[in-house]
Amino acid sequence: MQYAIPAWDLPVVPVVAGGLPFPVRHIYCVGRNYAEHAKEMGGDATKEPPFFFTKAADAIVPARPPEVARIAYPMATQNLHYELELVVAIGKSGANVKAAEAQSLVFGYAVGLDMTRRDLQNDMREKKRPWDIGKSFAQAAPIAPITPVEQTGELAKGEITLLVNGETRQHGDLSQMIWDVPHMIEFLTRLYRLEPGDLIFTGTPSGVGPVVAGDRLEGRIEGLTPLVVEITEPAA
Ligand code: MN
């Protein structure tokens, strides 16, 4: 195919054990899906329907262990936050999917970080404007290799832990999600047809906080390949 301008490579996420890479179509994210995190963001723990936002597919930074993924401190922020999340990789198309059938859409799972320019997000939230500038920006979605569901089974529980410079900052269990993955897919597919290549970031436990250049983040979820990220100086 020839294009009017030079084309770029499709964003991809590696798949464990020499699997073929997973091409990324669209990134959906769920807000406030753990009660303690909802509280720390100024909400409460009542079970409201989940809400969603998106990131551009080219925000993906694929980690290739044992190499450490490096992301530059982004422009236009003084308050870059980490949010460690289980990421669901979608392998089949579906709209209006019931929770009971939702698992059939899942290709696999990975450890991801929903990096957030919190100052911009909060400013937009206060003004009732879209969150996009706080959530979707270059390198905002580092992600570890995907493990296919055949190897993990349905992931409904398991420890989720983030260390910054070796200290635990976030710790929870996937079973603490307000909306589990099947119900999240049920809600999301009332709004959009999910397609192969879509990723869903499923929300973060409490303990979110800022990072600076030089920090090393290590995200772990039981049964999945850990994600190790280093924050580097801002790009020139
Ligand atoms: Mn998040």
pLDDT for 36:
84
pLDDT for 46:
67
**Residues in the chain, pLDDT under 70:** 44-46
Distance 176 CA to ligand 1 centre (A): 15
Residues bordering ligand 1, an ion, CB closer than 5 Å: 83, 114, 204
* CA-CA-CA-CA torsion sign (87, 203, 223, 63): positive
Distance 63 CA to ligand 1 centre (A): 19
Distance 205 CA to ligand 1 centre (A): 9
pTM of the model: 0.97
Distance 162 CA to ligand 1 centre (A): 13
Question: What is the C-alpha to C-alpha distance for residues 37 and 201, in angstroms, rounded to an integer?
Answer: 15
pLDDT for 45:
60
Distance 3 CA to ligand 1 centre (A): 35
Distance 8 CA to ligand 1 centre (A): 27
Distance 97 CA to ligand 1 centre (A): 23
Distance 151 CA to ligand 1 centre (A): 25
| 79-131 residue pLDDT tens | 999 999 999 999 999 999 999 999 999 999 999 999 999 999 999 999 999 99
Distance 201 CA to ligand 1 centre (A): 7
pLDDT for 155:
96
Core vs surface per residue 125-142: b (16+ CB within 10 A) or e = eeeeeebeebbbbebbbb
Question: What is the C-alpha to C-alpha distance for residues 94 and 105, in angstroms, rounded to an integer?
Answer: 7
Q: Provide the token pair at 54.
A: 């998106």
Question: What is the C-alpha to C-alpha distance for residues 69 and 62, in angstroms, rounded to an integer?
Answer: 7
